[in-house]
Amino acid sequence: MLEENTDSKKTESSLKSPQGGALNFSFPKKEKLTNKKLFEALFTEGKSLREFPLKLIYLKTDFKEKVPIKVAVVAPKKKFKTAVQRNRIKRLLREAYRLNKPLIFNNIEGNYAFIFLYLGKKTPSFDEVDSAMKKLLGTFLNKEFHEKID
């Protein structure tokens, strides 16, 4: 089932998938993580993966909304003092996630909450964030998804 989906990513059949479509690059409000309790749970119980300059904290949960993943993005205030820098980083992370969504959206079962942390010291370019995001999502899939199959 899942392998078929990855193979037929760019075909028309996957566009009609009930989960929102493989080529759906949208990032609506539903897919944002807003619950305070979930945040706390993530920081205490969540597992983490690193791919410099990014860090992913994730946790398997259930939501009321029919969305597979909820995502939040963090830029630390200690390293980046101005709001402009923090906004810039958060926008880049969000954009990178949005464009790489199809990598994981069709290969996942259940609900996950994600937090992306930025660990670098300087404001990055989009290419850096994008490549790191791709690697990070790949390792996430390998860990969670293949371990379960085995």
Partner RNA sequence: UUAGCAGGCCACCUUAUCGCUGCAAGUAUGGGCAACCGUGCUUGGAGAGGAAAGUCCGGACACCAAAGUGCAGCAUAGCGGGUAACGCCCGUCCGCCGUGAGGCGAGGACCAGUGCAACAGAAAGCAAGUACAGUUCGGCUGUAGUGAAAUCGGCAAACUCUAUGCGGUGAAACGCCAUGUAAACCAACGUUUGAGGGUUGCACGCCCGAGUUGGAGGGUAGGCGGUUGGAACACUUGGGUAACCAUUUGUCUAGAUAAAUGAUAAGGAUAUACAGAAUCCGGCUUAUGGCCUGCUUUUAAU
Partner RNA sequence: GGCCGCGUGGCGCAACUGAAUAGCGCAUCUGAUUACGGCUCAGAAGGUUGCAGGUUUGAAUCCUGCCGCGGUCA
- Which positions lie near RNA, rule CB under 7 A? 24-30, 32-34, 36-37, 39, 72-74, 81-85, 87-88, 90-92, 94-95, 98-99, 125-127
Nearer to RNA, 15 or 83 (CB): 83
Edge-first strand listing for the sheet containing 69-74: 47-51, 54-61, 111-118, 69-74
Q: In angstroms, what is the minimal distance from the CB of 108 to RNA?
A: 20
Nearer to RNA, 24 or 111 (CB): 24
Question: Is beta strand 54-61 parallel, antiparallel or unpaired with respect to 47-51?
Answer: antiparallel
CB atoms inside a 10 Å sphere around CB 121: 9
Q: Which residues make Cβ contacts (< 8 Å) with residue 136, sequence separation at least 6? A: 49, 51, 54, 56
Nearer to RNA, 53 or 95 (CB): 95
Q: Give the span between the Cα atoms of 89 and 129, in whole angstroms.
A: 9
Q: In angstroms, what is the minimal distance from the CB of 78 to RNA?
A: 7
Nearer to RNA, 52 or 126 (CB): 126
Residue 73 has, within 13 A of its CA and on its CB side, a CA count of 18
Q: In angstroms, what is the minimal distance from the CB of 37 to RNA?
A: 7
Nearer to RNA, 130 or 138 (CB): 130
Q: In angstroms, what is the minimal distance from the CB of 31 to RNA?
A: 9
Q: In angstroms, what is the minimal distance from the CB of 112 to RNA?
A: 15
Q: Give the span between the Cα atoms of 73 and 50, in whole angstroms.
A: 15
CA 23 vs CA 3, 34, 131: distances in Å: 17, 25, 19
